[in-house]
Structure formats: structure tokens, C-alpha cells
Amino acid sequence: MFRNNYDNDAVTFSPQGRIFQVEYAQEAVKQGSVVVGLVNKTHAVLVGLKRNAEELSSYQKKIIEIDSHMAIAIAGLASDARVLSNFMKQQSLGSKMTYGRPIPLDRIVAQIGDRAQTNTQHYGKRPYGVGLLVAGVDEAGPHLFEFQPSGLTHEMVACAIGARSQMARTYLERNLDKFQDCSRDELIQHGLSALKETLSQDKELTIDNTSVGVVGVTNGKKESFKLYEGQDTAALLEVLEQRESAGAEGESMEVDS
């Protein structure tokens, strides 16, 4: 009946040194629809593919604004994400209240990391079934962090989590040097291109299923987080289409030479 004896709780190691419940939680992340995050010297961008449970239902929210300087993109259990997002909202309001400053990204990421870790050390607890990409700006510039159910956090230059996210990661790895110095709008396009890579043959990016979030800082001037959804994404997707068709020719030229 059971696959093994070491997955009945989230606090017991297997003899191989694994915690199966945490690994299963990571599977939940892989089943979530894909989100992509990328950062360069001025901006941090999150893009997400929204899913609807059925034709008649609304689309699941993928990007949540935490504060004017920070947002998260989620893959996995949305309800677990909400718990984390509420916590992050509280913390960032607290920082604004006490110090009058936006909470530094590394600080708040460490806090959710610690919370997730305690779930793997107290009996009766369950790991968060969600992975997060945390994007934002602070005194030290734009940042992107990845958060996993294990409590592991990494600062990234680009990242994708969720179903078929490997395709997006491949795109990001190949184009890394292109978006380090690129503009805000180009960075968004790279995000959308990466997102598009993950789609199966019969799918397309539409204004209904695409979410884009941007936050940045240029010459010390903060650009508050902006979320593009629905009709607001139309212009972005149009540019993407133009680039793709122009790029396709460019690509083939390169191959020829």
C-alpha cells in the first residue's frame, strides 16, 4: 500500500537521507502552472501562465503584489501561497511602520525560508506545497529569489518553476547575456518568450492566461510594482508576436551562416 515507510510524516529521514514528504511537496510545485522570473540591472520581471480549472471557471491568480516594491509568483497550492503571502504582507507593512523603509528582499525571503524549514522539523506539520519566485527592489537594487517547499532559497538572475518549466529555463540560460543590460520592455519580452517555450503545441499566450508583473529602479528612482492582466497584456503580447516573427527569420539566417 505504501511506497515506503519513511513518508508518513515530514520530519523523518529515510536511510538514504531524504525527506519524502518534502519531495512530494516539490512534486506539487511541478504540477502548478509555470511562472518565470528574471532580473537585470534595473528591473525584475515576473510572468505567469494562468490556468482555469474548467472552461467556465475563472483563472487562478499567479502573481500577488506584496508591497509597492515587491511581488511573488506562485506555482503549486494557491492556498498555501496565500498563507505565505499574508505573512509577507504583514512583515513588509511592519517594516514600513517601524523603520519607514521597504523591507529588504533577502530579509523577507529568509523569513519565509525559516518558516518552511520549521515545517520539516516539527511533528504533525506539513511542508508548504508551493514554490515562489520573489521579485522586487530594495536599497541594493532589483532582486529575484526562488523559494522551495524545503525552505531552500536562492537568489537568481532568472528562474522558472512549475509544469514544463525546463523549457523556460533552457531559454533563459541561452539568452542570459542578452537581458543583463536590456531595457525594461525587452526584459518583459524575454520573460514572455521563456513562458511561451513551455506551452504545448495546442496552446497560446492570450490576454486571459498571461500575467506580467514588473518592478524596477532607474537612477535611484523607484518604479512601483505594476501588474499587467487581461486587456493590459494585449500590447505586450502584440510586441511578442512581432518579435517572434522577426526573430524567426533572424534565427534561420544565423543557422545558415
Partner 1 sequence: MTSLMGNHSGTIGYSFSEPTSANVKQHSFYPYTDNGGSTLGITGADFAILAGDTRSTSGYNINSRMVPKVFKIGGDDETGEGANIILSVVGFAADGNALKEKLDTMVRMYKYQHGKSMSVGACAQRLSTILYEKRFFPYYVHAILAGLDEEGVGALYSYDPVGSYEREQCRAAGAASSLIMPFLDNQVNSKNQYIPGSGEGHALVPKKAEPLDKETATKLVKDAFTSAVERHIEVGDGLQLVIVTREGIEEVFHALKQD
Partner 2 sequence: MNHFPEAWGRPRNDVYGAYDHSYLQTSGPKAHTSSPAVTGTSVVGVKFNGGVAIATDNLASYGSLARFSDVKRLRNFGDKAMVGFGGDVSDMQYLDRLLDSMDIKENYSHHGNMLNAKNLHTYLAKVFYKRRSEFNPLWNHVLVAGFDGQGEPFLSSADLLGTTFSAPHLATGFGAHLAVPILRRKFPEGTPLEQVSKEDAVEALKECLKVLFYRDARSADKYSIAVITKDGIDLKEDEQIQGQSWAFAERIRGYGAQTA
Provide the binding-site residues for partner 2, judged by CB under 8 A.
97-101, 104, 106-107, 138-140, 220
Q: Using the rule CB under 8 A, which residue among 18, 93, 230, 247 binds partner 1?
A: 93
Q: Does 224 bind partner 1 (CB under 8 A)?
A: yes
Residue 161: beta bridge partners?
35
Which span (7-15, 17-25, 88-96, 164-172) binds partner 1, by CB under 8 A? 88-96
Q: What is the CA radius of gyration of the chain?
A: 19
Q: How far is the CB of 146 from partner 2 (least distance, A)?
A: 16
- DSSP-derived secondary structure letter, 176: H
93 contact choice in partner 1, partner 2, none (CB below 5 to 8 Å, kind-dependent)? partner 1
Which span (8-16, 51-59, 93-101, 150-158) binds partner 1, by CB under 8 A? 93-101
CB atoms within 10 A of CB 4: 11
Q: How far is the CB of 97 from partner 2 (least distance, A)?
A: 7
Q: How far is the CB of 106 from partner 1 (least distance, A)?
A: 20
- Of 107 and 174, which CB lies nearer to partner 2 in the complex structure? 107
Q: Does 226 bind partner 1 (CB under 8 A)?
A: no
Binding site for partner 1 (CB under 8 A): 65, 68, 89, 93, 96-97, 100, 102, 222, 224
